[in-house]
Chains A and B, each alone.
Chain A
């Protein structure tokens, strides 16, 4: 079966400092290949600075890769011109780490969720409101909060709102760029379950970017481990957890806090 998203040998260089010489360039992505089948979750795990977010931006067409290809449902994304790109964008949506800065603080919850419709010129005004309210229901935000501005909501509510906004254009893939990291543990669990529910009912695929192996294990079908711009290890979640091969994977796994059975104390291994 053809995967929904296929990334091949993606390279992204950033100019380091003011120099334009090629040897001074920073390789944020150094030949990354991955694929995500429709309706599945791939967790991309890695330390900060390993290139995860750059990859997310490239896939969402918010950065232009230096070389390599990204194809979505068999369409090479790089060949799209600006107008085609605008029509294509709804297919892939992003949820960012910091819910406070990813929502326009001047707008109400309802305005934020109906904005994607407005940008894509979909529906009439009353229709947009009806659909926006349905989206709020979908992420369990009480309708009485619809008139509140984003900066009046709690962190968890903001992130639900960001998810509702990402859902608005009925994407096939949602990139969750550290989308749970800024939240409290209890809120994290609620949002994670919401994500699983939405996946089950809407058939979404997720690219779940995180440094938290525990959350990756909970959500993902497959895990890819990233280190210094490369994918060093990938496979089904259980395999990676049971027999990590690469140094970077073991280091990240060792950083997961766990309970040790016999003496009932929490230790960080």
Chain B
């Protein structure tokens, strides 16, 4: 239990540090949201100064940070200048869409990577394994952006998939089944782009870790007891190879999230990605900080989940951390 407590404490400290740094960096960038108003002759310098005071932009940085932290503690994330509304509800809708995309992509990528990697490892060095190796290597060198654009071109040319958005026009009037189908159709391309971008890395890691344990004498011994081949691969070898893969799972959540931000922008998916991009360009300070913090929370949650899984999967950790 001490292990989990320690990991959670780590996570909290990490989030705190990230919030401080993002706040600092975004606040220290020159200019702010209201600077462009100065170009407008109809707005007097006095009203701009009044806006600064209203949004506390004239107060010193530590005070603003303390103020913001206090707001976070009360479940608020500040106020958006551009949307003229609190940040939290704005972010929640977008975060939900991003999560929908990344969770689906993560599940799909892992469900494909495990059997593919194990299959490849069990035929290590033979033709199927080489085909998998070459395909994944090729996919690895294609940048995410090119992949997403390529898929978009495919959608435009064929018309099989919608080229953007979350749902079709008139979504509210659809039947529940139709709604689900419409959403799935809209999700296909972005999810595909994300899966294609992460799958090669996952497959190669699964293959390498399984191939490494496959020669272990204790697997030979099990084979000598007459265990079926499939059970040996999935029941024994995969479990023995699980530790680095579980850690990789946490890491893959991170890469999927950052990949998702990009794919969302390219495929106009209404997630955190486009919102972050817009608000960075507009210097909508609190939206940027909130968005970064939220992605960070997802990332930390993914890693924490991996730590919990690791604790559950490997009994050796129990004693390593808290000796009897």
Tell me, rounded to whole Å, the shortest Cβ–Cβ distance linking B216 to chain A: 6
Judging by beta carbons under 8 Å apart, are B226 and A106 in contact?
no
Does B176 count as interface, using CB distance less than 8 angstroms?
A: no
Of B99-107, B181-189, B217-225, B293-301, the one with at least 4 CB within 8 A of chain A:
B217-225
Provide the residues of chain A in CB contact with B221, threshold 8 Å. Answer: 94, 96, 102, 162, 165-166
Does B228 count as interface, using CB distance less than 8 angstroms?
A: yes
Provide the residues of chain A in CB contact with B314, threshold 8 Å. Answer: 106
Provide the residues of chain A in CB contact with B228, threshold 8 Å. Answer: 86
Judging by beta carbons under 8 Å apart, are A103 and B226 in contact?
no
Judging by beta carbons under 8 Å apart, are A120 and B225 in contact?
yes
Provide the residues of chain A in CB contact with B218, threshold 8 Å. Answer: 101-104
Judging by beta carbons under 8 Å apart, are A62 and B224 in contact?
yes
Does B30 count as interface, using CB distance less than 8 angstroms?
A: no
Q: What CA separation (Å) do A87 and B218 show in the bound complex?
A: 19
Q: What CA separation (Å) do A185 and B255 show in the bound complex?
A: 52
Within 8 A of A (CB), among B231-262: 236, 239-240
Provide the residues of chain B in CB contact with A47, threshold 8 Å. Answer: none
Does B74 count as interface, using CB distance less than 8 angstroms?
A: no
Does A266 count as interface, using CB distance less than 8 angstroms?
A: no
Does A119 count as interface, using CB distance less than 8 angstroms?
A: yes
Chain A interface residue bracket vs B? 20 to 34
Q: What CA separation (Å) do A97 and B224 show in the bound complex?
A: 15
Does A115 count as interface, using CB distance less than 8 angstroms?
A: yes
Judging by beta carbons under 8 Å apart, are B225 and A106 in contact?
no
Provide the residues of chain B in CB contact with A57, threshold 8 Å. Answer: 220
Provide the residues of chain A in CB contact with B239, threshold 8 Å. Answer: 106
Does A131 count as interface, using CB distance less than 8 angstroms?
A: no
Q: What CA separation (Å) do A120 and B314 show in the bound complex?
A: 25
Does B315 count as interface, using CB distance less than 8 angstroms?
A: yes
Does B4 count as interface, using CB distance less than 8 angstroms?
A: no
Provide the residues of chain B in CB contact with A62, threshold 8 Å. Answer: 220, 223-224
Tell me, rounded to whole Å, the shortest Cβ–Cβ distance linking B236 to chain A: 8
Judging by beta carbons under 8 Å apart, are B223 and A87 in contact?
no
Provide the residues of chain B in CB contact with A151, threshold 8 Å. Answer: 316
Provide the residues of chain A in CB contact with B153, threshold 8 Å. Answer: none
Tell me, rounded to whole Å, the shortest Cβ–Cβ distance linking B194 to chain A: 33
Tell me, rounded to whole Å, the shortest Cβ–Cβ distance linking A157 to chain B: 16
Provide the residues of chain A in CB contact with B236, threshold 8 Å. Answer: 104
Does B227 count as interface, using CB distance less than 8 angstroms?
A: yes
Judging by beta carbons under 8 Å apart, are B217 and A101 in contact?
yes
Provide the residues of chain B in CB contact with A97, threshold 8 Å. Answer: 217
Within 8 A of B (CB), among A98-122: 98, 101-106, 115-116, 119-120
Provide the residues of chain B in CB contact with A101, threshold 8 Å. Answer: 216-218
B290-324 interface mask toward A, CB cutoff 8 Å, 1 = contact, 0 = none?
00000000000000000000000011100100000
Judging by beta carbons under 8 Å apart, are A116 and B316 in contact?
no
Provide the residues of chain A in CB contact with B316, threshold 8 Å. Answer: 105-106, 149, 151
Q: What CA separation (Å) do A54 and B222 show in the bound complex?
A: 18
Does A249 count as interface, using CB distance less than 8 angstroms?
A: no
A90 in contact with B220 given A106-B315, A151-B316 (CB within 8 Å): no
Tell me, rounded to whole Å, the shortest Cβ–Cβ distance linking B122 to chain A: 14
Q: What CA separation (Å) do A166 and B225 show in the bound complex?
A: 9
Tell me, rounded to whole Å, the shortest Cβ–Cβ distance linking B102 to chain A: 31
Provide the residues of chain A in CB contact with B319, threshold 8 Å. Answer: 149, 152
With beta carbons under 8 angstroms apart, the residue of A98, A102, A152, A169 that contacts B225 is: A169
With beta carbons under 8 angstroms apart, the residue of A60, A104, A116, A169 that contacts B240 is: A104
Judging by beta carbons under 8 Å apart, are A89 and B225 in contact?
yes
Provide the residues of chain B in CB contact with A234, threshold 8 Å. Answer: none
Q: What CA separation (Å) do A115 and B314 show in the bound complex?
A: 18
Provide the residues of chain B in CB contact with A165, threshold 8 Å. Answer: 221
A90 in contact with B226 given A104-B240, A105-B316 (CB within 8 Å): yes
Provide the residues of chain A in CB contact with B226, threshold 8 Å. Answer: 85-90, 119-120
Q: What CA separation (Å) do A201 and B314 show in the bound complex?
A: 38
Does A93 count as interface, using CB distance less than 8 angstroms?
A: yes
Q: What CA separation (Å) do A102 and B236 show in the bound complex?
A: 13
Tell me, rounded to whole Å, the shortest Cβ–Cβ distance linking B245 to chain A: 15
Q: What CA separation (Å) do A89 and B220 show in the bound complex?
A: 12
Residue of A nearest to B243 (CB): A106
Judging by beta carbons under 8 Å apart, are B224 and A93 in contact?
yes
Residue of B nearest to A150 (CB): B218
Judging by beta carbons under 8 Å apart, are A92 and B315 in contact?
no
With beta carbons under 8 angstroms apart, the residue of B222, B224, B227, B315 that contacts A60 is: B224
Question: Can you give 6 contacting A-B residue pairs, CB < 8 Å?
Answer: A89-B224, A97-B217, A101-B216, A120-B226, A149-B319, A162-B221
Which A residues are closer than 8 A to B by beta carbons?
Answer: 57, 60, 62, 85-90, 92-94, 96-98, 101-106, 115-116, 119-120, 149, 151-152, 162, 165-166, 168-169
Closest 8 CB pairs of A and B: A102-B217, A89-B226, A96-B217, A86-B226, A116-B225, A119-B225, A119-B227, A104-B218
Instruction: For the A-B complex with A93-B224, A166-B221 known, give 14 more contacts whose Cβ atoms are closer than 8 Å.
Output: A57-B220, A87-B226, A88-B226, A89-B226, A90-B226, A92-B224, A96-B220, A102-B216, A102-B218, A115-B222, A149-B315, A149-B316, A151-B316, A169-B225
